[in-house]
Amino acid sequence: MPWPMADLCNKAGQRSPWFIDAKKLADYIDSKKREAENDWQKMRA
């Protein structure tokens, strides 16, 4: 993944979720959306 993540898995073997910075994830998604929109516009031109 292109952003820092924290594994909160305890040592007893139970799984816990991975936590990430929501702002960094949102920024990444926004940048991918912009790239896709640009690609779409180029294909339609």
For residue 16, tell me if it sits in a domain: no
pLDDT (0 to 100) of residue 15: 63
CA 21, CA 35: separation in Å to the nearest integer? 22
Domains: count for the chain: 1
Contacts 24+ apart (CB under 8 A), 3-11: 3/28
Average pLDDT over residues 14-26: 77
For residue 4, tell me if it sits in a domain: no
Average pLDDT over residues 32-37: 97
For residue 14, tell me if it sits in a domain: no
Closest CA to 8 of 45, 17, 42: 17
pTM score = 0.62
For residue 12, tell me if it sits in a domain: no
Helix residue ranges per DSSP H, 1-45: 22-44
- Residue 32 pLDDT > 80: yes
For residue 38, tell me if it sits in a domain: yes
Band of pLDDT at residue 24, cut at 50, 70 and 90: confident
Average pLDDT over residues 18-34: 89
**Higher local confidence (pLDDT), 9 or 32:** 32
Domain that holds residue 29: 21-45
